Homo-oligomer: A and B are copies of this chain.
């Protein structure tokens, strides 16, 4: 059976972005596939009683410095977007929609959104900017809007979020290898170990 890591993410999480920059390499090295699982982090917080780290000012300040250190270690750009934290509802619905309707283009969608959001620090809560970013990546803005309004797509995001919570998630990114759950981009080595077993 093919090894698999379930990757629950929300575009609004800079830690999930950092994990996204590293996980494909880790999965490939282990001969594993990534099961991309878009979820709504706000829904996870609400269901679990958790909150964003930035709600504690001192934690948010440290987190920014810490994330920058990880980005430097990984050798990837990290720029916190204007307007952070970003409302990602439409973007996450878009993720589910791409998986449902245009799975071959899902990867290009994720790359376009993450590169804009945390690679260049663009305010992806602004629909004009989203339209420009997706257009530049070859996506049709009107079709994207329609996709995010599709009831089946909306329900898919709710189902993913509910599943994440049911399996024990309380934040992003959350990764599962079988029943083993790892939280945070700083646990990718534990994911690698789990995939190696």
State the CA gap A56–B182 with chains docked (Å): 16
Q: Decide if A120 is an interface residue (CB 8 Å cutoff).
A: no
State the CA gap A48–B187 with chains docked (Å): 26
Of B62, B168, B170, B187, the contact of A183 (CB 8 Å cutoff)? B62
Min distance, Cβ A69 to any Cβ of chain B, angstroms? 6
State the CA gap A56–B48 with chains docked (Å): 7
Q: Decide if A57 is an interface residue (CB 8 Å cutoff).
A: yes
Identical chains in the assembly: 2
Asked if B58 contacts A170 (CB within 8 A), the reply is: yes
Q: Decide if A59 is an interface residue (CB 8 Å cutoff).
A: yes
State the CA gap A190–B170 with chains docked (Å): 25
Instruction: List A164-197 residues whose CB lies under 8 Å from chain B.
Output: 165, 168-171, 181-183, 186-187, 190
Of B61, B168, B182, the contact of A58 (CB 8 Å cutoff)? B168
Known: A49-B56, A56-B49. A62 touches B186 (CB 8 A): no
Q: Decide if A65 is an interface residue (CB 8 Å cutoff).
A: yes
State the CA gap A190–B50 with chains docked (Å): 27
Interface residues of A, Cβ cutoff 8 Å to B? 48-50, 55-59, 61-62, 65-66, 69, 165, 168-171, 181-183, 186-187, 190
